[in-house]
Amino acid sequence: MEEQLQAILAETESALATVEARSQLDQIKASILGGNGKLTALMKGIASVPKEERPAFGQAVNKTKKQIENLLAQTAASLDNAEDAAALGKTADVTLPPSGNYVGGLHPLTQVKRRITLIFRQIGFTVAEATEVETEWFCFDALNTPEDHPARDEQDTLYFPKESRFGNVSKKSDEAYVLRTHTSSVQIRTMLKEKPPIRVIAPGRCFRRDTVDATHSANFHQVEGLYVDKKVTIRDLKAVLDHLLRELFGKEVKTRLRPSFFPFTEPSFEVDLFSSNLGRLSNKWIEIMGCGMVDPKVFDNVGIDPEEWSGFAFGLGIERVAMMLHGIDDIRHFYQNDLRFLSQF
């Protein structure tokens, strides 16, 4: 009996070695395990086996059956893989350098994002990213922005229908999903994940229900920054932002903090920039970004003790910086993929 089982197993193996299509696989399976299959026939012979030998007989047949099923499954999997590979075509080595006739370049927004990222990496900041779909809690509540704040109005924020589900972003039952209106939500995600001290920037795409005009777009990009440590002061904030703006716009720029309001910082400021070297924006104060000292309520919301820790945060628009750097007067140029525009960068 053992010999017969071995023979069936060997036969299956050699038959499977030549399989090229599902239909062949099915045939082999039927010829061994089907109603009239060889193993099935052997199994049926159990009736003529003496009673005391039946358990051992049954076990031996079942063991072989398992082995055959495994072989069939392996062959099915390699057929699937071969099918996928054929559908995908030749594999490409993405590490090879581009060919000589390579044309193209980085989008001006990507270039500015990379410049800003590099400036912060050099002073010890890391980069955080999060999803563009956010929950109301991360986008607003945790950032101390109450339910009745105008930013949460449906005129300003793009809400998903209540029944929408995003498997990779969990939300509480009574809140809605939104497209994030700012990258400040990444502050919250970072502080829930990491313990202070924290030095992080978060570049990314944001969405607002703005009417589109020369300086507004429903889809734009920001870089958020967050610094949390002991005894952080407004001087630290100013020093870091001065460093950023001098690296971007030149050593001679002047900056000032102007009191302002954001729900998640207290005090809050707008940063203004003055330069004689900014084309038609030269020689006047220009608002460039928002910032402030992290509001203790925000620390409370993420379980960081505001008695022990302090910090600053800031957010700036990548389009705005790119427009100032290059003297671009219409934000819509960035999104039209017109080569006459893009090839200038």
Positions that interact with ligand DAH (CB under 6 A) = 182, 184, 224, 262, 265, 290-292, 313-315
Rounded to whole angstroms, how far apart are CA atoms 11 and 31? 11
Are the CB atoms for 179 and 105 separated by under 8 Å? no
Q: How far is the CB of 226 from ligand DAH (least distance, A)?
A: 7
Residue placing its CB nearer to ligand DAH in the complex, 12 or 310: 310
- At 85, list the tokens: 């590979």
- At 62, list the tokens: 């079942």
For residue 247, the one-letter residue type is: E
Are the CB atoms for 264 and 143 separated by under 8 Å? yes
Are the CB atoms for 171 and 177 separated by under 8 Å? yes
Q: Count the residues in the chain.
A: 345
β-strand partners of 159: 178
Q: How far is the CB of 114 from ligand DAH (least distance, A)?
A: 20
> Which residue's entry shows tokens 């084309």?
279
Q: State the pairing for strand pair 177-179/133-135.
A: antiparallel
Residue placing its CB nearer to ligand DAH in the complex, 19 or 288: 288
Q: How far is the CB of 73 from ligand DAH (least distance, A)?
A: 53
Q: How far is the CB of 172 from ligand DAH (least distance, A)?
A: 22
Q: Exposure pattern of 41-63 as b/e (b: 16+ CB <10 Å)?
A: ebbeeeeeeeeeeeeebeeebee
Residue placing its CB nearer to ligand DAH in the complex, 69 or 156: 156
- At 222, list the tokens: 């920001």
Residue placing its CB nearer to ligand DAH in the complex, 278 or 291: 291
For residue 307, the one-letter residue type is: E
Long-range contacts of 254-258 (CB under 8 A, 24+ apart): 256/285, 257/291, 258/287
Residue placing its CB nearer to ligand DAH in the complex, 26 or 210: 210
Q: How far is the CB of 313 from ligand DAH (least distance, A)?
A: 3
Q: Is 1 helix (H, G, I), strand (E, B) or coil?
A: coil
Q: How far is the CB of 345 from ligand DAH (least distance, A)?
A: 25
Residue placing its CB nearer to ligand DAH in the complex, 196 or 290: 290
Residue placing its CB nearer to ligand DAH in the complex, 240 or 313: 313
Long-range contacts of 325-328 (CB under 8 A, 24+ apart): 325/112, 325/248, 325/249, 326/108, 327/278, 327/279, 327/280
Residue placing its CB nearer to ligand DAH in the complex, 196 or 315: 315
Residue placing its CB nearer to ligand DAH in the complex, 144 or 275: 144
Q: How far is the CB of 179 from ligand DAH (least distance, A)?
A: 13
Q: How far is the CB of 315 from ligand DAH (least distance, A)?
A: 3
Are the CB atoms for 310 and 281 separated by under 8 Å? no
Q: How far is the CB of 276 from ligand DAH (least distance, A)?
A: 27
Terminal CA-CA length for the chain = 78
